[in-house]
Amino acid sequence: MRNTKEQILLTALELFAREGFDAVSVRDIAAALGLSKGALYRHYQSKREIFESILRRMERRDAQQARDRDLPEETAEQTPAAYQGASLDDIAAFSKDMFRYWTEDPFASRFRRLLTLEQFRNAEMGALYQQYLAAGPLEYLRDLFSAQGLARPQEEAALFYGQMFLLYSVYDGSENRQAATELADRLIDGLRDRLQRLQNEERRKEP
Amino acid sequence: MRNTKEQILLTALELFAREGFDAVSVRDIAAALGLSKGALYRHYQSKREIFESILRRMERRDAQQARDRDLPEETAEQTPAAYQGASLDDIAAFSKDMFRYWTEDPFASRFRRLLTLEQFRNAEMGALYQQYLAAGPLEYLRDLFSAQGLARPQEEAALFYGQMFLLYSVYDGSENRQAATELADRLIDGLRDRLQRLQNEERRKEP
DNA sequence: ATGTGTAGTAAACGAGCGTTTACTTTTTGG
DNA sequence: CCAAAAAGTAAACGCTCGTTTACTACACAT
């Protein structure tokens, strides 16, 4: 097979995302690919190395995506000025993209579920879960909303990202995933409109 | 030991909530209790039976809690009329209780993390996760808000429960858990106030 | 055509798994 | 007080785990 190493990584991710790292055996991965266990060890030194390759792959994808959008990669140190270019419309559109990315992209949706399953096992996994899926996006949106001149960026960010974050789980458990995606779009639009009204009020007060 | 069966259940839950069912061995549970493996089998027929006892325990607790609050246990079939007694203040207070329950109660917080880790493994676990933590509370709040006469109960419920649901994860990853709880209170109050304003507007329109 | 590295297989390794067995200690009720 | 039940132990069972080994099939540059 030509692309065996890649197939191993993708198949392992698929299984890890459903069962968790420990519950998946090297035999399971090999069987899902129609290979012998030995063949896997031609491409990876250990089961752990497959897992770590998945982590590195996600890092690469994330860095690439940040470069594509040329948004600041480290939110913590940035001044709000760095976000001034974006509008609430941009933020809403960006959020819809993110929702689709974490639910529909084959790699990202599985990686999200993998992180969900591994988040309590050690500090590193917990930090990655926070960074990619919980406190990270929340703080990022808080900074964006702060740069938008909204009076209570923390609260608005929790509302905005909270409903998205909840819908990831609703999506995962839903029989009609398209409906979940449409609901996400509707909720994002609804909150965007509300924030725009708030923003207009703010600007009327302090121009 | 007098209370061995109970200790086994609680210790297993503690470990399952951190590592997941498969990653915890019977040896791990026995060692954490300072017992031999054989002793565990005096009290439970199998590792699986410990797990299922945990599920049944949660069911019992949940049913008891519903009885204590004498709120309807099955939200699906109920008419909004059943909720007319509650106010938005009641709902906010109830939500703060729920947040503390799922984060601070030793059994419930571990059970929440256990469900989080097992949700993708089979349909039963997925359904329980949805019922206790995702779509279930969302629909419940939607019905409550609908009974409150709010114009867009689905949207308000997603905002309200979304921020709580996100804060469960922020809480889990936070070094300062008290701050996360205080933030949850603040966010719930903030949204309650907003919903009360909306409610007053609605009532002015249609008295 | 052939030598060489690459990708594959089947089988075996020791360790750890959930569970059972044979046995000992502790608790308890008449 | 003492038999019987309950609660505990240590060791072994068969099985599966991740990994290694010995060997085979094949692509391909010289």
Per residue in A97-112, pLDDT (tens digit) is 999 999 999 999 999 9
Angstrom distance (rounded) from CA A164 to CA B130 = 16
Give pLDDT, residue B108: 98
Q: Which residue in B195, B158, B159, B166 sits closest to B183, CA to CA?
A: B166
Q: What angle do CA B124, B125, B128 make, to 5 degrees?
A: 90
Lowest mean pLDDT among A119-128, B56-65, B76-85: B76-85
Give pLDDT, residue A183: 98
Fold for B1-54, please state it: Arc Repressor Mutant, subunit A (1.10.10)
A135 and B174 within 8 Å at the Cβ level: the answer is yes
B76 falls in which pLDDT band (50, 70, 90)? very low
Is B131 in the A-facing interface, judged by CB distances under 8 Å? no
- In degrees and rounded to multiples of 5, residue B176 shows phi and psi of -115, 90
Angstrom distance (rounded) from CA B46 to CA B30 = 13
Residues of A in contact with B119 (CB under 8 A): 116, 172-173
Length B42 CA → C21 C1' (Å) = 13
Is B191 in the A-facing interface, judged by CB distances under 8 Å? yes
- CATH 1.10.10.60 range(s) for chain B read 1-54
Compute the nearest-CA separation of B52 from chain A (Å).
18
Q: How far apart are the first and last CA of chain A?
A: 64
Using the CA of A42, which nucleotide's C1' is the nearest one?
C7
| Residue at shortest CA–C1' distance from C10 | A36
Residue B107 vs residue B76, higher pLDDT: B107
Q: Read off the pTM.
A: 0.94
Q: Which residue in B195, B190, B130, B127 sits closest to B163, CA to CA?
A: B190
Give pLDDT, residue B75: 45
Which stretch, A49-58, A78-87, B76-85, has highest mean pLDDT?
A: A49-58
**pLDDT tens, position by position, B166-177:** 999 999 999 999
User: Is the pLDDT score of B88 beyond 70?
Assistant: yes
Give pLDDT, residue A83: 61
Q: Which residue in B51, B19, B178, B124 sits closest to A117, CA to CA?
A: B19
Give pLDDT, residue A77: 45
A173 and B133 within 8 Å at the Cβ level: the answer is no
B78 falls in which pLDDT band (50, 70, 90)? very low
A206 falls in which pLDDT band (50, 70, 90)? low
Q: Dihedral angle at the C-alpha atoms of B123, B20, A131, B108, nearest 10 degrees?
A: 80
**pLDDT tens, position by position, A128-162:** 999 999 999 999 999 999 999 999 999 999 999 99
Length A10 CA → C12 C1' (Å) = 29
When the pLDDT of each residue in chain A is averaged and rounded to a whole number, the result is: 92
Helix (H, G, I), strand (E, B) or coil at B79: coil
B173 and A127 within 8 Å at the Cβ level: the answer is yes
Amino acid at B133: L
Is A132 in the B-facing interface, judged by CB distances under 8 Å? no
- pLDDT > 70 in chain A, percent: 91
Give pLDDT, residue B178: 97
Give pLDDT, residue B35: 97
Length B68 CA → D15 C1' (Å) = 48
Give pLDDT, residue A22: 98
Q: Which residue in A103, A117, A105 sits closest to A17, CA to CA?
A: A117
Is B116 in the A-facing interface, judged by CB distances under 8 Å? yes
Give pLDDT, residue A135: 98
Which of the 8 DSSP states describes residue A71? -
- In degrees and rounded to multiples of 5, residue B94 shows phi and psi of -60, -40
Give pLDDT, residue A72: 53
Q: How many CB atoms lie within 10 A of CB A9?
A: 19
Residues of B in contact with A23 (CB under 8 A): 20-23, 121
Cα–Cα distances in angstroms (integers) from residue B108 to residues A63, B61, B73, in the given order: 37, 9, 18
- In whole angstroms, what separates CA B152 from the centre of its chain? 24
Length B41 CA → C19 C1' (Å) = 9
Which H, E and C letters describe B158-204, residue by residue? HHHHHHHHHHHHHHHHCCCHHHHHHHHHHHHHHHHHHHHHHHHHHHH
The DSSP annotation for B34-67 comes to T--HHHHHHH-SSHHHHHHHHHHHHHHHHHHHHH
Q: Determine whether A191 is exposed, middle or buried from the number of CB atoms within 10 Å of its CB (0-12, 13-18, 19+).
A: buried
In the block, tokens 């591994």 appear at A118
Residue A114 vs residue B77, higher pLDDT: A114
- pLDDT > 90 in chain A, percent: 84
Give pLDDT, residue B86: 81
Give pLDDT, residue A75: 46
Angstrom distance (rounded) from CA B15 to CA B23 = 9
Chain A to chain B, count of Cβ pairs less than 8 Å apart? Answer: 135
B23 and A19 within 8 Å at the Cβ level: the answer is no
Give pLDDT, residue B206: 66
Using the CA of B23, which nucleotide's C1' is the nearest one?
C17
Those residues with Cβ within 8 angstroms of residue B2's Cβ, 6 or more apart along the chain or in another chain:
none
B166 and A169 within 8 Å at the Cβ level: the answer is no
Amino acid at A26: V
Residue of A nearest to B166 (CA): A162
Give pLDDT, residue A82: 55
Instruction: Note whether A93 and A192 are within 8 A (CB).
Output: no
Lowest mean pLDDT among A82-91, B6-15, B59-68: A82-91
Residue of A nearest to B17 (CA): A120
Residues of A in contact with B112 (CB under 8 A): none
Q: Is nucleic acid strand C under 7 Å from B24's C-beta?
A: yes
- In whole angstroms, what separates CA B6 from the centre of its chain? 21
Residues of B in contact with A161 (CB under 8 A): 166
Chain D positions with a protein C-beta closer than 7 Å: 6-12, 16-22
User: Is the pLDDT score of A168 beyond 60?
Assistant: yes
Q: Which of B159, B189, B197 to mutate to test the interface with A (most CBs of A within 10 A)?
A: B159
Angstrom distance (rounded) from CA B147 to CA B149 = 5
Q: Which of A24, A166, A176, A195 to mutate to test the interface with B (most CBs of B within 10 A)?
A: A166
